[in-house]
Amino acid sequence: MRNRIMLLLTVAFAGLIVWNLKHILLDVPDEARQDAIFRILYFHAPAAIVGLTGFGVGMVFSGVYLATKNFYWDTLAAATTEVSLMLAAINLVTGSIWGRQQWGVWWAWDARLTSMLVCWLIFAGYMMLRRAIEEPDTRARLSAVVSLFGTVNAWFVYKVIEWFPRLQHPGPVLSFRTGGRIDRQLETPFFWMVLVYMILAVVLVMIRMRQESVAREIDSLRRMAHA
Amino acid sequence: MNGNFEYLCYGLVAAWLIVALYVLLLGMRESKLAKELERVRHMVEPRGK
């Protein structure tokens, strides 16, 4: 059943990405000031939205683990965070390429960029922490603390462009944050791209969970072998 | 090709390269786990018989 859902989601991902890439690259007109380069934002911002949301979802899963002490939730939190870290990396790298073309620099130490980098580093630390601690309960509890800390930072990343409007990073442009400053023709493929990244994230988390269940099976067989 | 479009290409390649690298990492992890599972099963099987 799980394999069938994964296959279905992968097909949906492939179909949607081809269809939406066609829109982004061929149908959407160039932006007046940025020309073609603005299309990077169709990858840069949706990766951030899904990645930052994923960090928050991972924190919720960690919270469920703390409440229930069921390791399934801790594993799910780790899988969600790992995939979100990959999406956050896409956000940072594509943003840097966009900045090089638009600002003439690969990086600017403004609050948005710096807080996103800090967020990425916190969750990279989360993954390293999980590798470093062998005792499952300690690992899960400390992971939950780091996840909470990182998610607070992720919320700061989201809000910082409202709190500090004079940043080098552009302010909010999507209509749900500004009340309609962006043309719908430009905005619709953006939301499709958010969906594409969400589907991708779900598939990758499912693959990670399958791997974790194999790892658990190996552990129990090892215990049997040594008993 | 103007410079602007060139950087768009860099961005698209980077975005998908990161996904591809992560999927490759998952694939490597999957095959390592499959081999390990096979090895541990062989360890256990003689005891089960």
Cβ of B15 within 8 Å of Cβ of A90? The answer is yes
* Highest mean pLDDT of the ranges A30-34, A47-51, A179-183: A47-51
The CA distance from A128 to A155, in Å, is 22
What letters, b where the CB count within 10 A reaches 16 and e where it falls short, cover A65-77?
beeeeeeebbbbb
Mean pLDDT of B22-45: 93
Query: In 10 A of CB B48, how many CB atoms?
Result: 7
A36-226 CATH pick, 1.10.3470, 1.10.10, 3.40.50, 1.20.120: 1.20.120
The pLDDT of residue B13: 96
Q: How many CB pairs under 8 A join A and B?
A: 83
Q: B26 falls in which pLDDT band (50, 70, 90)?
A: very high
Cβ of A97 within 8 Å of Cβ of B34? The answer is no
Q: Taking a C-beta distance cutoff of 8 angstroms, is the pair A81, A131 a contact?
A: no
Q: Could you read off the pLDDT of A187-202 as tens digits, one per residue?
A: 889 999 999 999 999 9
The pLDDT of residue B3: 58
The CA distance from A45 to A169, in Å, is 12
Mean pLDDT of A147-176: 84
Cβ of A86 within 8 Å of Cβ of B22? The answer is yes
Q: Is the pLDDT of residue B48 over 70?
A: no
The CA distance from A209 to A214, in Å, is 9
The pLDDT of residue A74: 94
Mean pLDDT of A42-57: 96
Q: Is the pLDDT of residue B1 over 50?
A: no
Q: Taking a C-beta distance cutoff of 8 angstroms, is the pair A55, A119 a contact?
A: yes
Mean pLDDT of A37-55: 95
Cβ of B33 within 8 Å of Cβ of A98? The answer is no
> pTM to 2 decimals?
0.90
The CA distance from A134 to A205, in Å, is 22
How is chain A split into domains, by residue range?
Answer: 36-226
Lookup: tokens for A223: 């215990």
The CA distance from B22 to A204, in Å, is 9
Q: Is the pLDDT of residue A125 over 60?
A: yes
Mean pLDDT of A143-171: 88
- Three-state SS letters, chain B: CCHHHHHHHHHHHHHHHHHHHHHHHHHHHHHHHHHHHHHHHHHHHHHHC
The shortest CB-CB distance from A37 to any of B7, B18, B44 is to B7
Q: Taking a C-beta distance cutoff of 8 angstroms, is the pair B6, A97 a contact?
A: no
The pLDDT of residue A181: 67
A35 three-class SS: strand
Lookup: tokens for A203: 């598939």
Reported residue count of chain B is: 49
Q: Is the pLDDT of residue B49 over 60?
A: no
Mean pLDDT of A94-116: 92
The pLDDT of residue A171: 75
Mean pLDDT over the full length of chain A: 91
